[in-house]
Amino acid sequence: MVVGPDTLNEVKEEHFDEVEAVLLTAFPTDAEARLVRQLRADGDMLFEFRKSWDGKIGGYYALSRMQAPEGWACLAPMAVRPEWQGGKLAENNPNMEVGGTEDQLYRGPWRFGTRMLQELAQCYEMPTEAIDGKLPETIVVLGKPSFYGRYGFSLQRAQKLSSPYPLEYTLILRRGDDVPVAELIYPQAFPGGSG
């Protein structure tokens, strides 16, 4: 029995409208929805993933191809249906006693963003031969270090990068413990992000 959101699945064309609806409700403007449409149109989208529950997409993230360094990707956007953010889905589950022992045990598994990032980070912990050629060498994310840092993304390892965005919000996920030196050039769809 699955506790919390279902497994992570790839987004297909039949999911595009529902993904757009999630993006439009999860953010204050339509900028992220426009970004996703432009990444698809430009051919820069590597992968799109969705996490569902009860037949609805509850969480989404995109990995797009960085212009440089080659083989790197950018995690953006990432969205969770607002009414299910922060484990609220667990609170609204009639099978869960909120405030009880079950709530303490299972609330975490109902957090869409947490589960998506945990699953992504676990891929980079697998033996190299198991994922060789299936994942980008490095994934870059712009966001809160206190959040993304819990899931394998490193602020410290990104500090020798040059970027059009602030390094205090730039984190990377990759194998090893090196501190790469590289210039980040984002896909053209990112505002002010391409070189």
142, part of any domain: yes
Residue 132's Cβ-count burial label (10 Å; 0-12, 13-18, 19+) is exposed
Q: Three-class SS of residue 171?
A: strand
Residue 189 within any structural domain of the chain: no
Q: Is residue 47 situated within a structural domain?
A: yes
CA 141 to chain centre: 8
pTM recorded for the entire structure: 0.84
63 falls within a domain:
yes
104 is a domain residue: yes
In a domain, 62, yes or no: yes
| Inside any domain, residue 80 | yes
pLDDT digits (tens, 9 = 90+) for 34-53: 999 999 999 999 999 998 88
Residue 137: give the domain boundaries.
Answer: 8-183
The total number of structural domains that make up the chain: 1
* Overall residue count recorded for the chain in this entry: 195
Structural domain contains residue 68: yes
pLDDT tens-digit series, residues 2-38: 455 667 889 999 999 999 999 999 999 999 999 999 9
Of the candidates 28, 29, 65, the residue with the CA atom closest to the CA atom of residue 47: 65
φ/ψ (deg, to 5) at 176: 85, -165
The CATH number of residue 143's host domain is 3.40.630.30
| pLDDT for the residue numbered 132 | 60
So what's the pLDDT on residue 8? 81
Please report, for residues 157, 174, 184, the alpha-carbon distance to residue 177 in angstroms, rounded to integers and kept in the order given. Answer: 7, 8, 19
